[in-house]
Amino acid sequence: MNFALLGDDVAAVPLIEAALATGQRFVRAALADRLHATHTPVATIPKCSWEDLLIDDNVEAVLVAGDSDEVQTAAKQLASAGKPLLIVPRLSFGAACAYELSLIRDDSHVTLMPAFSLRFDPELVVLSQRLANREHSEVRRLQVDRELPSASNAPLTETEINAASLEDIDLLQWLGGRFDQVTAFRSGLTEHGCSQATLTLAGAGLPDATWTARRGSADVWRLTVETDRGPITLERSVHPQSTVELMAAFVAGNAPNAPEWSDAVRVFDVLDAAKRSLRRRRTIDLHFETLSERQQFKTQMTAIGCGMLMLTLVLMLALLGLGSLLESRDRAVRDAEASGLFLKASDFEAQATTLTAAAESRLDVMAGR
């Protein structure tokens, strides 16, 4: 398969190397100047503008690895044009961009796959199969513990925490299920950050899942699965086979453990819910819905219709109020009344159609005019 590279995120390098190792080719690169200058596998890829990728029939798929606004815009345009995308999810995408790409996918039926490499780690693949086959009976709890190093030993920042949890959240949902409750907590808060971050996921009939991060001297990743038959612990190491299997799954398009774009959308939803949980200091409930262009259109039309009805009601009330303040008689009636040529109800006998004496006298005067 002929790939193009879009973006200059260093996370693209192991994916490029894995693709080349499996016989795939990279024929174009756009918005990747930094990688061109620093990484040999990218330096040999011909440069182009991202607009050229829209019309290049030789490009069969695009690896998106960048967090700039231009990369996001290009990704949306390429997806709309029907180019399959393998996307390295980054915080800058956010839920809004993720949902927009989801709508484009539903409309154009293009392949969008998030590059969650943990799903292809050999040990984790075996673990997921054993859990699915209930070889360990019931799963009671899942926990991922992270230690993030820093040269200055500074507190953890929110950006650092969210970036570290991005792929781990997908792993917890892959192993545990579709969680719908999110609780976030920070310990040792200062104006510069925190000493520890905790994220708890829960759902009806699902095992609790916890993600923690704290500062450490080395990069540590540890998964603990508590089951009825005892705990299972895995230490993460960079496994080159993960990226190879990921690229193979994208090319084949039918791997059972391959993530879908809706999985990435749920991860961004969890991150947004975690922010709300920190702000409100409570558990946030999530409500996942399948999006489509038709649903979006119906929602918008319903909102517009309700708005028009409310506007019509307000205008009618305003018109009635304004009418009560304005003169409702025409000019001929007003002139006749001013000249005394206007007969009123008081000019007639009570409950009769005959004029009073005063009215008859005035009528004679009017006739004389």
CA distances from 290 to 103, 194, 327 (A): 10, 35, 57
Tally Cβ neighbours within 10 Å of residue 284.
Answer: 20
CA 334 – CA 211 distance, rounded (Å): 82
Lowest-confidence region among 155-164, 268-277, 345-354: 345-354
pLDDT tens-digit readout, 240-293: 788 999 999 999 887 888 999 999 999 999 999 999 999 999 999 987 554 444
Residue range 351-357: average pLDDT? 72
Lowest-confidence region among 94-108, 168-182, 227-241, 250-264: 227-241
The answer to whether the CB of 176 falls within 8 A of the CB of 201 is yes
Residue-level pLDDT at 10: 92
Tokens of 316: 């009618």
Residue-level pLDDT at 32: 92
Residue range 222-248: average pLDDT? 87
Residue-level pLDDT at 321: 79
pLDDT tens-digit readout, 204-220: 999 999 999 999 988 89
Residue-level pLDDT at 299: 67
- Beta-bridged to residue 145, according to DSSP, are 212, 222
CA 85 – CA 153 distance, rounded (Å): 37
Domains of the chain: 2-116 (3.40.50.720), 119-238+261-291 (3.30.360.10), 302-368 (no CATH)
The answer to whether the CB of 15 falls within 8 A of the CB of 115 is yes
